[in-house]
Amino acid sequence: MKILRVNMSDETPSAKFEELGEYEGFGGRALTSAIISKEVDPLCHPLSADNKFVIAGGLLSGTAAAMSGRISVGCKSPLTGGIKEANAGGQAAQVMGKLGIAAIVLEGKPKTDDTYKIFINKEGVKIEKDNSLKMLSNYDLVQKMRSQYGDKIACISIGPAGDMKMSAASVAITDMEGRPTRHCGRGGVGAVLASKGVKVIVLDDTGTLPRQPKDPEAFKDANKRFVAGLQKHPVTGQGLPAYGTNVLTNIINEVGAYPTYNFKDGKFAGARKISGEVQAELEKQRGGNPTHGCHRGCVIRCSGIYHDKDGNYLTKQPEYETVWAFGGNCGIDDIDKIAMMDFLCDNYGLDTIEIGAAIGVAMEAGLIKWGDADGVINLIHEIGKGTYLGRIIGNGAAFTAKAFGVERVPVVKGQAIPAYDPRAVQGIGVTYATSPMGADHTAGYSIALNVLKTGGFVDPLKPEGQVELSRNLQIATAFIDSTGMCLFIAFALLDQPETNQALIDMINAFYGWNMKDSDVMEYGKKVLKFERDFNARAGFTKQHDRLPRFFYKEPISPHNVVFMVKDEELDQLFNW
């Protein structure tokens, strides 16, 4: 496996392959965070030539391992000002792995305003200027690439929001059908890719073979045990395949942790109308599909296909966080309208969490009324067109709050808080506050133990045990994000020691390593140290590891609780 470095500063951008060297043994998030931490000036402007944009598949990407198709992108974030890793499913990681590329590192930036496309196959790399791609939406862009390069390609791309360098711009990854539906959403990564002058990276693995393990028999056996564990677990084997991630809507609403009307309430009256159960039923009725993988080798298959009322494809099945962001958060209970918002965000290249949160803030300011679905759709079009108003909202919740003078701003380190209220689930509040990434539910998903009781139970309404819970989950997640594995495998890993062991056996068989549980934790700690070190040099202090003060002062119904984990306890999280 090699690193592909692309220098965009040269008059004619150039590419060269190099050995992994000091980055040997790193994949996914470990690789993006190590390169950013070691090679990027933490005080640089995120859109300057000094920032780098790193794309990395995981340790097992491009192999026959099930669930190994996650891709990570890393950079200094224009949204948080700190280090950023955002990941997605889709086909790109598997294709990169088969091409023998561990990471693509985009360096520098063009001196002109030209737009480039990069094509990579087993013969090499072509970097071409193509200004006809400027401001194309993701769906149109991918269609154009498929007509040029064939339909076997995978694409990594940005939409108009990226072209305009908005801080909520995402990076799209194509799925098995070649649709740009999987997004590295958080932190404005799309703006950084745009700053490098790159609109799309096209990957073609024609004529390549999967990566081969050091011990094929042991690898095959471990993979088989791993898949069996996922299939027998109630979450990964039944709940997620049947209803997708939106199975959480009714669950989180019932426990009073569903942030409603910009984090004013913990329950939404219209939750049932936009639940995963309703969504799955609609998909079946209209000829869509609630059970579908986002990449080859996925056995959980929580990504569905959503059709409109006429039976035509509209978008991939909207995720729980997307349904919340535009649903309960904005007071909207029309699942078809929410699915349209999901499609528009994918097409323009926007993080649905950040945009839903920004629109919730704008609603609080009185820009449009709560529940005005058509008003939200119009606002997303404003972002896509780059109007003055669109540019405000396209730069995220914190920016929108400043523009409209709103006090209740649900962000940490400038990044919007997702779909679980930290007062009703105290563990996720600890993760939001302390993650180097800014508010991020995936960084240490305490919902697993606080709500779903997977791997044990820690009372979500009490502060006790939450710091230790978040710490252990953040360490384990940093490792999972580095393997290329989907984070949802964690449900089975937490409940089934044998499935956890099967994953470690698979990695050992592939690389000829002798990794143990303790090594997994050390690996995760190393990743977090890279990220924390970068942020410290960028000027972050313990005061940045805090929730907005309203969470400590405004009780949330129905439990009438505030966030109770003390600041000095939060400061102990990384003292392992």
Contacts of 234 (CB under 8 A, 6+ apart): none
Give the mean pLDDT of the chain: 96
Contact 273/332 with Cβ under 8 angstroms?
no
pLDDT score for 302: 86
Q: Averaged over 284-307, what is the pLDDT? A: 89
Check if the beta carbon of residue 129 is closer than 8 Å to that of residue 115. yes
For residue 453, give every residue at least 6 positions away whose Cβ sits within 8 Å of its Cβ, in sequence order, or none: none
pLDDT at 281 over 90: yes
Confidence of residue 406 (pLDDT cuts 50, 70, 90): very high
Q: What is the mean pLDDT of residues 461-467?
A: 98
Instruction: Report which DSSP code applies to 239.
Output: I
Is the predicted pLDDT of residue 297 greater than 90, yes or no? no
Kindly tell me if the per-residue pLDDT of 398 is higher than 90: yes
pLDDT at 290 over 90: no
Please name which of 298, 320, 318 lies closest in space to residue 247, comparing C-alpha atoms. 320
User: Cα–Cα distance between 92 and 175 in angstroms, integer?
Assistant: 8
Other CB atoms within a 10 A radius of the CB of residue 114 amount to 13
Q: pLDDT tens digit string along 37-58?
A: 999 999 999 999 999 999 999 9
Is the model more confident about 298 or about 374? Answer: 374
> What gap in Å lies between CA 346 and CA 525, rounded to an integer?
33
Span 114-172, pLDDT tens digits: 999 999 999 999 999 999 999 999 999 999 999 999 999 999 999 999 999 999 999 99
Q: Among 103-112, 489-498, 518-527, where is mean pLDDT lowest? A: 489-498
Cis peptide before 497 (omega within 30 of 0): no
pLDDT at 445 over 90: yes
Cα-based torsion angle of the residue sequence 166, 538, 56, 175 in order, rounded to the nearest 10 degrees? -30
CB contact at 8 A, 541 and 574: no
pLDDT band at 289 (very low <50, low <70, confident <90, very high): confident
- In the chain the domains, ranked by start, together with CATH numbers, are 2-203 (3.60.9.10), 213-243+422-576 (1.10.599.10), 254-420 (1.10.569.10)
In angstroms, the CA 478 to CA 545 distance is: 18
H helices of 172-330, in order, are: 189-195, 216-232, 234, 240-243, 248-254, 276-285, 320-326
Task: Give the length of the chain.
Answer: 576
Task: Quickly state the pLDDT bin for 294 (edges 50, 70, 90).
Answer: confident
259, pLDDT greater than 90: yes
Greatest C-alpha distance within the chain: 62
pLDDT category at 243 given cuts 50, 70, 90 is confident
| Contacting residues for 11 by C-beta, under 8 A, at least 6 apart | 111
Q: Which of 46-49's residues contact partners 24+ apart within 8 Å by CB, and which partners?
A: 46/75, 46/76, 46/77, 46/78, 46/81, 46/188, 46/191, 46/192, 46/195, 47/78, 47/165, 47/191, 47/192, 47/195, 48/109, 48/195, 49/9, 49/107, 49/108, 49/109
Mutual angle of helices 352-364 and 335-348, in 10-degree steps: 120
Buried b (16+ CB within 10 A) or exposed e, 243-281: bbbbbbbbbbbebbbbbbbbbbbbbbebbeebbbebbbe
Q: Using a pLDDT cut of 90, give the percent of the chain over it.
A: 94
- Token pair 């009185």 is found at 366
Q: What pLDDT is stored for residue 279 in this prediction?
A: 93
Name the residue among 174, 488, 170 with its Cα closest to residue 354.
Answer: 170
CB count within 10 Å of CB 289 equals 16
